[in-house]
Amino acid sequence: MPTTRVMEGLADMTGQQCNTLDIVRLVARRPEPTYEVRCTRCQSTSTAPHSRLRSGAARCLASGCGKVQQRQRGRDLEEEQRKQAEEREKQRIADVQAASLRRMEAEVEGYVLPTKRRPAAEHVVLTERDRIAIRQRREELEAEARTERETREKPVRELTQKINETSRQIAALERKVLLDPNVKDLDFWHDPELVGLHLTVEGATEWNYAMLKGFADSHPEFVVNDHNLQILNNYFSKHSVLMFTTEQLNRVYKRMLACGIPFDAPEQANTDVIANDTPSDTKRPDANLTIAPAKEPDKPKAPTYEGFDLQTGEPRTFTEREVARMSSEEFKKAMQMVARGEMGLPRIGPGPNGRGYRA
Ligand SMILES: [Zn+2]
């Protein structure tokens, strides 16, 4: 009967393996058999005693063995995962692109891209007949456009004509009211300043003159001559108004200008004379037919009177006080007035009969 007899420690273990260690060769017999071992994991070489190899306790003693291997493996794993992720992403992008390409191909199937430039137009030689045809066609189109435009604008044009015609008629009526001696103006404005004022004929003439002066001062473009004064005079005469105010003159003059009553406009030579005579006009030597803003009736300015010196006969300006101290004869002389009925107006200014006129 065979029996297994275990002999302690004396069998040569060269070539055997213990854990990760390959037993390479026997390097010492005493005090205990010792073997050179090589770790299969880290390839490091060391020695191990027979007893530890026999009991299976021998381990690789290299300090980094296993740990390095594990760390390396972790790093490798990480790298591996990253690579896989990259690979998946690349694949996904490729799939998307392929799908897009397939879709585009399906959409543009049979479509031919245009060439970059239009082909140069061929030089066409027109015959005379072609030219005539083209011209006729163009004229037809223009005539159509013209007709269409006229049709479209016709109502507007008609309305504009009507409005113009109406305003012409209104202006004509206004002129008739203001000029015709037989037509009374229903809108005649009575200045409250005149209410209760009773003056002699001479006093009225002085009053009118002062008012006219105030009016002419505020309207540099108003030429004081017979024609222009007559227009104003007639208007007040036909209403049997013997005295008027600057405000009344302003108002009626404004209406007369608005409806186009022809006043004599200042000529260049005449405006020069005015400018020389009255320094206040030099401020606006180019004053043309502009209408100065109507003066407030409640703001009378200190009146002065243009006349001629009683001794020397030279033109001069009289203050209100000087005029008030004159007798009526002196006043007439100083103003060189010629009574022309109740509404006599002085012959002053640059008109053909005025004193400022020099041929
Ligand atoms: Zn090892």
**Residue 17 Cα, ligand 1 centroid: separation in angstroms?**
13
* Residues 350, 354: Cα–Cα separation, whole Å: 5
**Residue 67 Cα, ligand 1 centroid: separation in angstroms?**
10
Per the domain annotation, does 92 fall within a domain?
Answer: no
Q: Does one domain contain both 168 and 251?
A: no
Identify the domain boundary among 157, 179, 201. 179
**Residue 29 Cα, ligand 1 centroid: separation in angstroms?**
24
Amino acid at 54: R
Identify the domain boundary among 179, 211, 245. 179
* Residues 110, 104: Cα–Cα separation, whole Å: 12
**Number of domains observed in the structure of the chain:** 3
CA 330 → CA 88, 310, 321, 335, 337, distances in Å? 124, 8, 14, 8, 10
| Burial (CB count <10 Å: 0-12, 13-18, 19+), residue 335 | buried
* Residues 304, 321: Cα–Cα separation, whole Å: 9
Other Cβ atoms closer than 10 A to 157: 11
**Residue 32 Cα, ligand 1 centroid: separation in angstroms?**
23
Q: Does one domain contain both 199 and 288?
A: yes
Per the domain annotation, does 103 fall within a domain?
Answer: no
Q: Does one domain contain both 308 and 256?
A: yes
Residue 306 bridge partners (DSSP): 317
Determine the pLDDT at residue 358.
52
* Residues 223, 322: Cα–Cα separation, whole Å: 27
What is residue 184's DSSP assignment?
-
Q: Does one domain contain both 139 and 243?
A: no
What is residue 304's DSSP assignment?
E
Q: Does one domain contain both 151 and 271?
A: no
HSE toward the beta carbon, residue 116, CA cutoff 13 A: 0
The owner of tokens 């010492």 is 28
**Residue 61 Cα, ligand 1 centroid: separation in angstroms?**
6
Q: Does one domain contain both 211 and 162?
A: no
**Residue 9 Cα, ligand 1 centroid: separation in angstroms?**
24
Q: Does one domain contain both 149 and 223?
A: no
Mean pLDDT by 10 residues, the chain (359 residues): 61 87 91 92 90 90 73 80 95 95 87 72 81 94 94 92 92 89 85 82 87 89 87 87 88 89 72 45 49 58 76 80 81 67 56 54
Give the SS3 label for residue 72: helix
**Residue 306 Cα, ligand 1 centroid: separation in angstroms?**
137
Per the domain annotation, does 2 fall within a domain?
Answer: no
Determine the pLDDT at residue 277.
45
Q: Does one domain contain both 211 and 271?
A: yes
**Residue 292 Cα, ligand 1 centroid: separation in angstroms?**
119
For the beta sheet containing 45-49, the strands, ordered from the edge strand earlier in sequence to the opposite edge, are 17-18, 21-28, 34-39, 45-49
Per the domain annotation, does 73 fall within a domain?
Answer: no
Q: Does one domain contain both 156 and 223?
A: no
Q: Does one domain contain both 140 and 212?
A: no
**Residue 71 Cα, ligand 1 centroid: separation in angstroms?**
14
Determine the pLDDT at residue 1.
59
- Listing DSSP states for 88-133 in one string gives HHHHHHHHHHHHHHHHHHHHTTT--PPPSSPPPPP-----HHHHHH
The owner of tokens 């108003």 is 222
Q: Does one domain contain both 174 and 199?
A: no
**Residue 159 Cα, ligand 1 centroid: separation in angstroms?**
114
Per the domain annotation, does 93 fall within a domain?
Answer: no
Per the domain annotation, does 344 fall within a domain?
Answer: no
Determine the pLDDT at residue 46.
92
Per the domain annotation, does 231 fall within a domain?
Answer: yes
**Residue 62 Cα, ligand 1 centroid: separation in angstroms?**
5
Per the domain annotation, does 291 fall within a domain?
Answer: yes
The domain of 21 spans: 17-55
Q: Does one domain contain both 290 and 158?
A: no
**Residue 326 Cα, ligand 1 centroid: separation in angstroms?**
147
pTM for this model (two decimals): 0.36
**Residue 298 Cα, ligand 1 centroid: separation in angstroms?**
125
Closest CA to 23 of 8, 36, 41, 5: 36
